[in-house]
Structure 1
Amino acid sequence: MLVTIKAHRQSLVCILSGSNYQNFYGQPGYPPQSGYPPQGGYPPQSGYPAPQGPGYPPPYTSSPGFVPPPAGVPYSQPAANPYTTPNQAMYGSSYGGDEPLTERVENFEFSDKSIRRGFIRKVYGILMVQLSISLGFIAWFTFHIPTKQYVQHHTGLWWAAFAIMIVCLITMACCGDVRRKAPMNFIFLFIFTLAESFMLGLASSTYDTDAVLMAVGICAAVCFGLTLFAFQTKWDFTIMGGALCAAVIVLMLFGILAIFIQGKTITLIYASCGALIFSLYLVYDTQLMMGGKHKYSISPEEYIFAALNLYLDIVNIFLYILTIIGASRD
């Protein structure tokens, strides 16, 4: 590359000088062009070159507030302000393009916090609508005796709701475009919530009314307390994703074992472990939604996914608490 640069430099000298110059490779240069360069140099331009001397550069007499120097004293440029930026020194003190780095960082952090707060409000707004629908189905199937008897004698409705719930859940979990693009994401979430609420109402109809009300109250208190804990604690639960996934797998295998080994004690142990694991999951998903100081976080575009996670955590906590109450009374 250095040889090429030198060769081009020698060729450029040959072109500008017009002489029979030998270039870097020993070849004769270009012949001189007719009338180029002009004899005697270029004609002088008006005002150029500027005169050199003690008074150069000339004072800016047209600037407002300029005080001419005394006679016989050469003009000198004012000292540069050490607090100006390079662009201000070049373009003047009125240049406003340079912004302090700390201010830009603070503006970025403020913007990120604003986006995250709006994301949290949207997630909890969707979650409140989901819980209201589920609570309505639970109250309907618990207090309306004809509906309670009808759904208990038609178990095919439960399997239909279960199939719809699984299809919607897998679609939203595996297809990113479905859960991000409106209104498709709201449609799937609404269908999923209806199917899950129907299953919750049917499960609640098999328990006594006071047991259901007690489970709803305990679940609300537990979820509220865990949410406050997740918001103010310094512990980062977002690093526990692998451990919680392994705990859910163990819980599932324990549930399959509990089907064949039935008993009050094993049911209480299974329900207690399930309530504990999904309580940790509620803290984990809440901190994922919060972001900020935590290691992992959910993108603000995933508000449907975040609301779905929190809703499933609360539903599972309610079902396990209801199972504990029912097993302790049976």
Structure 2
Amino acid sequence: MTQGKLSVNNKPANSEGQQGNAEKKDSSTVPSAPPTYEEATSAEGVKAGAFPPPLNVPLHPTWAYVDSSTSPHYGSGYSPDTETLTALSWDDQNVRRVFIRKVYSIISLQLFVTVAIVALFTFCEPVKGYVQANPAWYWASYAVFFVTYLILACCSGPRRYFPWNLILLTIFTLSMGYMTGMLASYYDTKSILLCLMITALVCISVTIFSFQTKYDFTTCQGVLFVMAMVLFFSGIILAVMLPFKYVPWLHAVYAVLGAIVFTMFLAFDTQLLMGSRSYALSPEEYVFGALNIYLDIVYIFSFFLQIFGSGRD
């Protein structure tokens, strides 16, 4: 009985004590509400020591800025100091300059080979007599020229894949040089030299004009197409009429029209290399760019030879 009473009498006391201890423990473990930004940064709170002073960190640290003069700039490529690779864009002027230099280097080699073949067929009498006595080589070279031109102009894979693009371009240049040399072998030496000088002056002046002028020749595709079609059908008519009767004045008109058309094509193809016009060639198409300009120059020379050249006796 005594133990029962004690247990009964002590139960509410223990429960009240436990509740009081739980309330004290809860009140001691519950954290206080965090201060607001105004309270934390106010001078009173800092002076009183209630809150620690804020960290002295600048809003814009110096490491967030990059010096453009010392950092790898746009189009710089690989730098051994920083060992970083920067992405190159086709619109970068450095890439465009390298592309233009590569195109004109290829054209210079092509023209050198062509002039050498023309000189060989003009000044070497045995070679000149052989090529004139065997016209089958001319038609064979024309077939090679036509096939290689179609491959380079219509198939982007072969003209971009090294070394097949340069191999095809070499075959194309040799075949075109053979046809030009055989054509020149029927004309007088003075006429050939005169036409070479005229062609050089015209091509250099048109190239400089195309680089300097604000006029956009790349927008004249429709006009060039119409003139090319007129030249094409005029050539077919002359080829049909030639076996029956040769008309000198009609042939001269055709040659003048051809010289004008391919001079305009030279300006058009030159501005395609620049990259600052309405239309531009990709820097991957250096073979295609060299092919077009070389063909324009050779055709200009051929038409000038038909205009100003005089046949051999």
* Superposition TM-score, scaled by structure 1 size: 0.71
In 2, Cα distance between the equivalents of 1:315 and 1:106?
A: 36
In 1, Cα distance between the equivalents of 2:307 and 2:143?
A: 26
Q: Which amino acid aligns with 1:139?
A: A
Mark the CA change 1:228 to 1:73 in structure 2 (over 3 Å): closer, same or farther. farther
Aligned pair count reads 268
Query: In the alignment, which of 310, 316, 323 is matched to residue 293 of structure 2?
Result: 310
In 2, Cα distance between the equivalents of 1:269 and 1:58?
A: 94
> Hey, what does 2:64 align to over in structure 1?
95
Question: Aligned with 2:234: secondary structure?
Answer: helix
**Higher helix proportion:** 2
Q: Which amino acid aligns with 2:281?
A: I
In 2, Cα distance between the equivalents of 1:50 and 1:140?
A: 102
> Hey, what does 2:272 align to over in structure 1?
288
> Hey, what does 1:10 align to over in structure 2?
none
Mark the CA change 1:167 to 1:79 in structure 2 (over 3 Å): closer, same or farther. same
Mark the CA change 1:272 to 1:327 in structure 2 (over 3 Å): closer, same or farther. farther
Equivalent residue runs for 1:55-204 within 5 Å? 70=47, 92-96=61-65, 112-204=92-184
Query: What RMSD over aligned residues (CA atoms) do the two structures have, in Å?
Result: 3.8
Q: Which amino acid aligns with 1:141?
A: F
Q: Which amino acid aligns with 1:117?
A: R
Gaps of 5+ in 2: 1-21, 77-87
Q: Highest CA radius of gyration, 1 or 2?
A: 2
Mark the CA change 1:172 to 1:201 in structure 2 (over 3 Å): closer, same or farther. same
Gaps of 5+ in 1: 1-38, 60-67
Shift of 1:114: 0.8
| Cα deviations by residue, 1:282-301 (Å, 9 ceiling, x for unpaired) | 00000011112x10000000
In 2, Cα distance between the equivalents of 1:49 and 1:131?
A: 89
Mark the CA change 1:109 to 1:151 in structure 2 (over 3 Å): closer, same or farther. closer
Shift of 1:69: 5.9
In 2, Cα distance between the equivalents of 1:326 and 1:299?
A: 38
| Segments of 4+ moved more than 6 angstroms | 48-51, 54-59, 72-76, 78-81, 103-111, 327-330
1:225 aligns with 2:193: no
In 2, Cα distance between the equivalents of 1:164 and 1:226?
A: 30
1:237 aligns with 2:217: yes
| Cα deviations by residue, 1:286-330 (Å, 9 ceiling, x for unpaired) | 0011112x1000000000000000000001100000000126999
In 2, Cα distance between the equivalents of 1:198 and 1:159?
A: 10
> Hey, what does 1:269 align to over in structure 2?
253
* Superposition TM-score, scaled by structure 2 size: 0.75
In 2, Cα distance between the equivalents of 1:240 and 1:122?
A: 26
| Cα deviations by residue, 1:218-276 (Å, 9 ceiling, x for unpaired) | 00000000000000000000011122022111111112223316322112111111101
In 1, Cα distance between the equivalents of 2:203 and 2:271?
A: 14
In 1, Cα distance between the equivalents of 2:280 and 2:238?
A: 35
Shift of 1:94: 2.8
Equivalent residue runs for 1:13-52 within 5 Å? 52=34
Shift of 1:55: 8.5
> Hey, what does 1:35 align to over in structure 2?
none
Identity %, equivalent residues: 38
Considering Cα pairs closer than 8 Å and 6+ residues apart, tell me whether 1 or 2 has the greater RCO: 2
Q: Is the 8 A contact 1:55 1:75 kept in 2?
A: no
In 2, Cα distance between the equivalents of 1:122 and 1:225?
A: 20
Shift of 1:158: 0.5
In 1, Cα distance between the equivalents of 2:278 and 2:209?
A: 17
